Amino acid sequence: MPQGGIQRSPGAHRAASISGAMGLRVIIFVLFVTCMPALGCSMLVGSATSGLARNLTTAVLDQDDPQLVEDGAPAYLMALDGLIEGSPKNETLLLAGARLYAAYASAFVVDPIRLARLTERARSYGHRAMCLANREICEASNEPFEEFVASLGKARKKDLPALHGFGSAWATWVQMNSGDWNAIAELPKVQALMERIVVLDDGYEQGGAHLYLGVLYTLRPASLGGRPELGQQEFEMAVKLSDGRNLMAKVLYARQYARLVFDQDLYNRLLIEVIEADPVEPGLTLTNTMAQEMAAVLLAESEEYF
């Protein structure tokens, strides 16, 4: 993969767009690819459709052409809409819709009107799934922060799929409405939700909650209330939980933490490691390919930034 001069390629345009957005937008794609294995057999009823979903999952996760996924995803999303219409109380289908709509919007959609529409659908699906899994948390999500945190304290491991799916869709919705202070005010609830996931299962979804927390802790410098050192710990844990094979974790580590604390050596080292790595990894090839595109753009910006 080229390490410079890639601005004319579609992948570079996509990477440049992502590199300029808030970290939460980027991370949704990581959650997309890590959530899909759980949808393979159980998301559809019937052995034939289960096998098809499983094969589709494998094909998407192991794809090294993000453009192909971008072109094909809308058909899959429309199929999910139809399945949800027929089974409106199927928690697994609702979670699939929530997380895949959030993933597609954050990774591939630029138009703000479409972003708002697609992420609202993702949040709606996620909220409906949460209501089916845990009515108390669902209802408390619209209440003051203290009441929501109290409800999260009663969550159990059985609630993890809904918590993670709802949380990722919710975070995407907040990011796409970042100009609305009412939406931004909900970020502490998202953070509390991810913290509860870590308590319930530290390694759930390959440490996806740790990536969220790493980003949330590094949205601001310490002087403005950020917690960059905690963010660094979360990124390190996310890298560890994937044995270093989730290259997007290193990209976010560089972009969110190393930039924030002006650590150019760490920034360059992480990005070079991503660019030089073999992106092929069962279940991670697609996200690793996109991570390498982003890393090339970010590394080219190093001298300008530091």
Give the residue ranges of DSSP H helices in the chain. Answer: 10-19, 23-35, 47-61, 66-86, 91-108, 112-133, 135-140, 145-152, 160-176, 181-184, 187-200, 208-217, 228-241, 247-252, 264-276, 285-300, 302-305
Is residue 244 one of the residues assigned to a domain? yes
Q: Is the confidence at residue 270, as pLDDT, over 90?
A: yes
Calpha distance 238→248 (Å, rounded)? 10
Residues 185-209 have pLDDT tens digits of 898 999 999 999 999 999 998 888 9
Q: Is residue 3 in a domain?
A: no
For residue 5, what pLDDT is reported? 29
pLDDT at 52: 52
User: Helix count (H) and strand count (E) of the chain?
Assistant: 17, 0
Render pLDDT for 234-251 as a digit per residue (tens, 0 to 9).
Answer: 999 999 998 999 999 999
Domain-located, residue 93: yes
Question: In the predicted model, what is the mean pLDDT of residues 26-54?
Answer: 46
Mean pLDDT calculated for residue range 63-70: 81
State how far the Cα of 26 lies from the Cα of 166, in Å rounded to an integer: 17
pLDDT the model gives residue 236: 97
> Which tokens go with 167?
């949380």
Residue 272 has pLDDT above 90, yes or no: yes
Mean pLDDT of the chain: 82
User: What backbone phi and psi angles, to 5 degrees, belong to 283?
Assistant: 85, -10
- Domain assignment present for 1: no
Cα of 250 vs its chain's centroid, Å: 14
State the residue range of the domain holding 26: 10-305
Q: Tell me the C-alpha distance between 129 and 303, whole Å.
A: 45
Q: What mean pLDDT is predicted for residues 275-284?
A: 90
CATH at 298: 1.25.40.920
Summarize the confidence of residues 241-270 as an average pLDDT.
95
Domain count, the chain: 1
Mean pLDDT to the nearest integer, 270-292: 92
Instruction: Confirm whether 2 is domain-assigned.
Output: no
Dist. CA 278–CA 203, nearest whole Å: 23
CB 21 within 8 A of CB 89: no
> For residue 173, which phi and psi values (nearest 5 degrees)?
-60, -45
Determine the Cα–Cα distance for residues 175 and 93; give it in Å rounded to an integer: 24
Nearest of 285, 271, 247 to residue 3 by alpha carbon: 271
Centroid of chain to Cα 53: 21
- Report yes or no on 251 lying in a domain: yes
Residue 54 is assigned to a structural domain of this protein: yes
Whole-angstrom Cα distance, residue 123 to residue 166?
7
